Chain A
Amino acid sequence: MKDVVLVKNFKMKFGNKTVIEDLSFNVKKGEIFGLLGANGSGKTTTVRALLGFYKASGGELLIDGEVYDSEDTDVAVGYLPEERGLYKKETVIDNLMYFAKLKDVKNPLEWVEKYLNRVDLIDKKNEKLEKLSGGQQQKVQLGVCIKGNPKLLILDEPTKGFDPMNRRLLMEIIEELHKKGCAIILITHYMDEVEKLCDRALLLKDGRAMVYSTIAEIKKKFGGKSLDQIFIETYGEQNE
């Protein structure tokens, strides 16, 4: 199956500090890929380098076989970053319409209304974003990312701040996109989400991939332990 994302011998340094030593992985079409690691392990840095926000110190980071450029790369990418926000003074519909138009979504209004219905925000469409609760704002942000059915979706801690209801809704949306063949990179600290959603996962530690395989193989390698236990064990070694 064709690689939507290919990271080869990626190295990243900030001054004298090495954040990523040597990292290689791929994400296939229609796959949900868990990018895991402790805080500061380099997950967000990897994604930012993949999307061109950082220039890699070495190696290759490709989306659909080329270095990503938001306007030139053919593959539609949705990105829900860790640090996220939208135009607070604008209405829900204006925010969504703007991003939909930027990504050349066909019939943007139809898509936006369908999405707002789906996430139960249709009655809030003319409200300014700042008037919405944190969870409601997150749903709008998610809408911005998944506009026009992206082929690659990168979600950096998507459920942070979501209540259980909205978390379930998000999972459903991720699964829907997965079924449509979207490749998804999921960065999360919730291992139950990884176990439930991901096909494969990579556990980052000290700028290297400590674990990189299918969920089943990872669990098999660690004697059937849960991902939570595996995570604690991997990082526990570091702390001892």
Chain B
Amino acid sequence: MSKALSNVVKFEIVRQLKKPSFWLSVLLVPAFMGLMFLIGFSQENSGTQVDFSEDTKVAITDEAGVLPKENPFSLYQTRDEGISAVKSGEVELFYYIPADFAETKKLEFYQVADGLHLFDFRSDAIKGILRGFASSTLPEKDILAITGEYEVEVTQISSSGENANVLGRAIIPGLFLVAFFLFLVLGGNRLTMTVVEEKENRISEMILTAVSAKTLIIGKMIAMIILGFIQIFAFMVPVLILVFLNRDNPIVSSVLSVIEVDPFMVVTSVILFLFSILFVTGILTCIGAFTPNARDASNFMGPAIVASVFPLYFMQMFLSGEVTFLVEFFTYFPLSAPVALMLRNTFGTLSAPELIIGLIEITFISVLMIYLTARTFQKNAINFQLNMPKLFKKKK
């Protein structure tokens, strides 16, 4: 890195780190999300019982003998019978209570992986059911077991009968998607404004006699990416610490227990995350380079950010696993491509050719945007008004 470039990077990073608003935005988002989580968590706990619809077919194999003979559930003699019933679609949810449940404090839960019940924790419904049936006729160790803390191992089974574990495999790629979303939400505005600032404050002419436009822009981009990572890190670390401290919490432990590391999906997530960061950096700084002031930049930046996160509004469609026209459109439409690709990777519907095409598209646009940003910044450095392109002007 040249000396001038490292000076730009250092200056941009240090001045942002000194701003209280930088840290406030980092802390406010997790604080808000934590609050939402706590509200949701308290409601989850207060209800204990997860409500099923009347049509939900629930089955149980009770080798431990903790359930009374009269109960509203389908009962299977063996675990395999129950699993087969889930595979065949005969039942939707199946709980297996092993004979040594009181000792191991562990039971199993199987459900059809339809992609619609990833986060409603139906596995925990068994706790409410068992507590409801706890009676004095049971041995003391069983009563202690069913009213105490125990682990529910979740297995998702696809309609083809395979162990799908959609939730488990989606967690790590999903974290990269969350990290990208944070980068965009917390740093999107900064990416554009850092380029507009020189023009807004009439600094461009002075600074461009000290450093080239290319060095300045690249330096700013590197600084903004580093700052974005700092914010993601500052956000993620407390969250991960909280998760670690609450690892015995039933909800947290049930999520942790299903995490599955699919190396292909994880590698793809890292690649998509990095390329997506480069992509939004290119797009948003380019807006800053083209516009003369913050107000004009905001007019373009807002729609660009909304278009980038637009696929998230169609999360259900991505979750369903069906590759519809809209899903394809979002995958290849330049602004929505990063989030759409990451969503599809998260839910396991992204094929290798689609990934390659997507990456080529993102890379091409990123490089083009960065090139245009450096060129435009030099040319527009002394343009203090937004000029409509000649294309839109009427010919005399």
Contact A70 B382 (CB under 8 A): no
Q: Contact between B205 and A70 (Cβ–Cβ < 8 Å)?
A: no
A133-176 interface (Cβ within 8 A of B): 141, 144-145
Residues of B5-52 whose CB lies within 8 A of A: 7-8, 11, 15, 19
Q: With A53-B381, A71-B211, A94-B15 as given contacts, are A86 and B206 in contact (CB-CB < 8 Å)?
A: yes
Given contacts A83-B384, A102-B7, contact A70 B210 (CB under 8 A): yes
CB distance from A23 to the nearest CB of B (A): 19
| Bound-state Cα–Cα, A86 to B381, Å | 14
Q: Taking the complex as formed, is A231 at the interface, i.e. its CB lies under 8 A from any CB of chain B?
A: no
Mark each residue of chain B from 183 to 216: 1 if its CB lies under 8 Å from any CB of chain A, else 0: 0000000000000010001110111111110010
- Is B69 part of the binding interface, using a Cβ–Cβ cutoff of 8 Å? no
Query: Is A51 a contact of B209 with CB atoms below 8 Å?
Result: yes
**A90–B206 contact, CB under 8 A?**
no
Q: Out of B15, B19, B209, which one reaches A77, CB within 8 Å?
A: B209
Please count how many residues in chain A sit with their CB below 8 Å of the partner chain's CB atoms: 30
CB distance from A195 to the nearest CB of B (A): 28
A70 to B208 CA separation, bound complex (whole angstroms): 7
- In the complex, A84 Cα to B384 Cα: how many Å? 12
Verify B206–A141 contact, CB threshold 8 A. yes
CB neighbours of B7 from chain A (8 A): 98, 101-102
Interface centre among B8, B209, B381 (most CB of A within 10 A): B209
Q: Is B3 an interface residue when CB atoms closer than 8 A count as contact?
A: yes
B317 at interface (Cβ–Cβ under 8 A)? no
Chain B residues near A13: list those with CB within 8 A: none
Contact of A90 among B8, B15, B207, B381 (CB under 8 A): B15
User: Does A59 belong to the interface (CB within 8 Å)?
Assistant: no
The reply to whether the CB of B4 lies closer than 8 angstroms to some CB of chain A is: yes
Q: Are A84 and B202 in contact (CB under 8 A)?
A: yes
Q: How many residues of B contact A (CB 8 A)?
A: 24
Residue of B nearest to A104 (CB): B3
Q: How far is the CA of A78 from the CA of B4 in the complex (A)?
A: 16
Residues 63 to 101 of chain A near chain B (Cβ within 8 Å)? 69-71, 77-81, 83-90, 94, 98-99, 101
Judge whether A53 and B202 touch: CB under 8 Å.
no
Residues from chain B with a CB closer than 8 A to the CB of A104 are 3-4
What's the minimum C-beta distance from A239 to chain B, rounded to whole angstroms? 29
When chains A and B are docked, how far (Å) is the Cα of A48 from the Cα of B381? 11
Contact B201 A86 (CB under 8 A): yes
Query: A89 to B210, alpha carbons, bound, how many Å?
Result: 20
Measured CA separation A90–B209 after assembly (Å):
20
Contact B210 A53 (CB under 8 A): no
The reply on A8 being an interface residue by CB < 8 A is no
| A69 and B4 in contact, given A81-B206, A86-B201 (Cβ under 8 angstroms) | no
Candidates A69, A78, A80, A88; contact of B201 at CB < 8 Å: A88
Complex alpha-carbon distance, A84 and B206, angstroms: 7
| Beta-carbon contact of A85 and B4 below 8 Å | no
Chain A: which residue is nearest B383 at the CB level? A53
Minimum C-beta distance from B113 to chain A (A): 52
Pair B211/A53 contact, Cβ less than 8 Å: no
Chain A residue contacts of B19, Cβ below 8 A: 89
CA distance A104 to B4 in the complex (A): 8
- CB-defined contacts of A87 to chain B, threshold 8 Å: 15, 197, 201, 203
Contact present for A70 and B209 (CB under 8 Å): yes
Would you give the shortest CB distance from A40 to chain B, in whole angstroms?
Answer: 15
Contact A79 B212 (CB under 8 A): no
B205: chain A residues at CB < 8 Å are 48, 51, 53, 79, 81, 83-84
**Could you mark each residue 214-226 of chain B with 1 if its beta carbon is under 8 Å from any beta carbon of chain A, else 0?**
0100000000000
- Given A53-B205, A141-B206, A145-B206, answer yes or no on A83-B212 (Cβ-Cβ < 8 Å): no
Cα of A207 to Cα of B353 in the assembled complex, Å: 60
Instruction: Provide the A89-120 mask, 1 if CB < 8 A to any CB of B, else 0.
Output: 11000100011011110000000000000000
A233 to B210, CA, bound (A): 39
Residue of B nearest to A53 (CB): B382
Q: Given contacts A53-B382, A70-B209, A84-B202, could you give 14 more A-B pairs where the C-beta distance is less than 8 Å?
A: A48-B205, A48-B382, A51-B209, A71-B4, A71-B211, A79-B205, A81-B202, A83-B205, A85-B203, A87-B201, A87-B203, A89-B19, A101-B11, A102-B8
Closest 6 CB pairs of A and B: A85-B202, A81-B205, A85-B201, A102-B210, A79-B209, A83-B202
